[in-house]
Structure 1
Amino acid sequence: AAYETGATIVNSSFHRFLPYGVSGVVVVSESHLTIHTWPEYGYAAVDLFTCGDHVDPWKAFTYLKKVFRSQRVHVVEHLRGRYDEIGIPETASHKAVVDENEQAVVSL
């Protein structure tokens, strides 16, 4: 799926569970793709987190939907890391965002 997006793959790690199932991460220069599967329930949870303009996570989505022969999908899209929308200049050397409950911190 990472190849489908045009991402630059840095590393990957997968773990197979017995008798079935897999969890894995593909680290890409543009962020990451993760998957956790529960074949006994016909379920997979996937996170396609990308940044930049040249990587298209929807290509990975389409690919995974096809190879898993998904009959139902549920998608939630989060536009993360949009610092310009919350008033942090692009030239800032360190950026941090704390959510309204002060529970999540994102920094670069």
Structure 2
Amino acid sequence: MSATVASYLPCGRHLIADLYGVAAEKLRDASSMEALLRAAAEAAGAHILFSHFHSFDAGQGITGVVLLAESHITIHTWPEHGYAALDIFICGQAQAELALQYIKQSLAATHCELNRIQRGQSKM
């Protein structure tokens, strides 16, 4: 299914999540993380446009983005601290919460601090 710019209002749900207690090996592999975030986008019902992930020096973390027709999912990881910073912004009918649930379960995070933000609602 093709998504067009005209099919989405400029508003949506933005989740900012700090995931703790994640096994270091899960936070070091850029290809596995890319596959995970792409699967999370699909679980949310979003339309993937492009993704790019970068590994830092051996044993260090990664940074990555999945661009969506509905906005984006990004992650930055610190394996030495078992920590991942996650940003999920989704407009339209896709469900940001489903993407977050998929990621938390897959990473087996022991703790999640979550901020929910409604974007673009006040002037619509």
TM-score relative to the length of structure 2: 0.65
More helix, by proportion: 2
Deviations 1:68-88 (A, max 9, x none): 111000000110111xx33x5
5+ unaligned residues in a row in structure 2: which ranges? 1-39
AA in 1 matched with 2:47: T
Separation in 2, partners of 1:48, 1:21: 19
Equivalent positions of 1:1-108 (< 5 A) are 1-19=40-58, 20-52=60-92, 54-82=93-121, 85-86=122-123
Task: Work out which of the two has the higher radius of gyration on C-alpha atoms and give 1 or 2.
Answer: 1
Give identity over the alignment, percent. Answer: 43
Displacement after TM superposition at 1:67 (Å)? 1.1
Separation in 2, partners of 1:69, 1:3: 19
Separation in 1, partners of 2:105, 2:62: 18
Displacement after TM superposition at 1:28 (Å)? 0.5
Structure with greater contact order relative to length (CA < 8 Å, sep ≥ 6): 2
Separation in 2, partners of 1:70, 1:23: 18
Separation in 2, partners of 1:3, 1:16: 23
AA in 1 matched with 2:75: I
Deviations 1:12-39 (A, max 9, x none): 1100112231100000000001000001
* 1:99 corresponds to: none
Structure 1 stretches of 4+ with a deviation exceeding 3 A read none
Displacement after TM superposition at 1:3 (Å)? 1.4
5+ unaligned residues in a row in structure 1: which ranges? 89-108
